[in-house]
Amino acid sequence: MNKNGELGFIHRFVPSSGSSATLLLLHGTGGDENDLLPIGHQLLPEAALLSPRGRVRENGMLRFFRRVAEGVFDLQDLAIQTEALAEFIKRAANQYKFDTGQVIAVGYSNGANIAASVMLNEPNLLRGAVLFRPMVPFVPDSRRDLRNVSALLAAGRRDPIVSPEETSSLARLFEAGGALVSIHWHNGGHELGNDDLAAAKEWLELWPPAT
């Protein structure tokens, strides 16, 4: 189902074929709502898929929030877009009748960054997240209660955009709030490898959403 801007974001929704989980698919810079659908199917075949299109354009490329330069985020726009995405998830749950308590984000790069931002801004909205090549989106001014949250961070050891230190900082930020964090280290750069997908699938299977 392709929905044009209803609920605040252009998006695709694929109903579940048995699982109670919904994967929230968040594409990287230059992608769109179609990009991660095959990966979503591959990772958790029976889950519902909710895939919004980022609302910001940078030189014609779609993103989920503005940035000033590579890795330097427009924090005001990040806050606005993070709230809009959280609102979209709630509206979509109401529209498509899925449980917000069973939503797991799967984000790549810019999509992973906005997913991390939603988790830090509204800790109980997402049940978990698979974050491919994430960065610290912002540092909250108070500790967040993330005890109900699990996250898999999939990082590239030779990623020219996200350093290993950045990945460790995000892990520490989540863990400081009580989140359960796993890290998968890929022996390459920013692009995804088959090992990233295998690690994500294994993580999702070992940690099944309640059915």
Active-site amino acid positions: 109, 159, 190
CA dist., res. 116 & res. 136, Å (int): 7
Q: Which stretch binds ligand MLT (CB under 6 A): 33-41, 45-53, 99-107, 109-117?
A: 109-117
Instruction: Spell out the residues 6+ positions from residue 208 whose beta carbon is closer than 8 angstroms to its own.
Output: 21
CA dist., res. 98 & res. 55, Å (int): 23
Tokens representing 131? Answer: 């974050």
Please report whether residue 70 would count as binding ligand MLT according to CB under 6 A: yes
DSSP reduced 3-state for 202: helix
CA dist., res. 93 & res. 29, Å (int): 25
Q: Cβ 110 to ligand MLT, closest distance in Å?
A: 3
Pick the binder of ligand MLT from 51, 102, 113, 150 (CB under 6 A).
113
Q: Cβ 82 to ligand MLT, closest distance in Å?
A: 12
What DSSP string runs through 102-141?
GEEEEEETHHHHHHHHHHHHSTTT-SEEEEES-------S
Q: Which stretch binds ligand MLT (CB under 6 A): 41-49, 64-72, 123-131, 164-172?
A: 64-72
Which residue, 71, 77, 70, 204, is CA-closest to 129?
Answer: 204
The residue among 66 and 90 lying less far from ligand MLT, judged by its C-beta, is 66
Please report whether residue 67 would count as binding ligand MLT according to CB under 6 A: yes
Stretch 149-208 residues interacting with ligand MLT (CB under 6 A): 161
Which residue, 76, 75, 88, 77, is CA-closest to 26?
Answer: 88
Q: Cβ 135 to ligand MLT, closest distance in Å?
A: 6
CA dist., res. 166 & res. 157, Å (int): 11
Stretch 25-44 residues interacting with ligand MLT (CB under 6 A): 28-29
Q: Cβ 69 to ligand MLT, closest distance in Å?
A: 9
Pick the binder of ligand MLT from 15, 45, 71, 208 (CB under 6 A).
71
CA dist., res. 74 & res. 40, Å (int): 29
The residue among 16 and 109 lying less far from ligand MLT, judged by its C-beta, is 109
The residue among 28 and 128 lying less far from ligand MLT, judged by its C-beta, is 28
Contacts to ligand MLT by CB under 6 A: 28-29, 67, 70-71, 109-110, 113, 135, 161
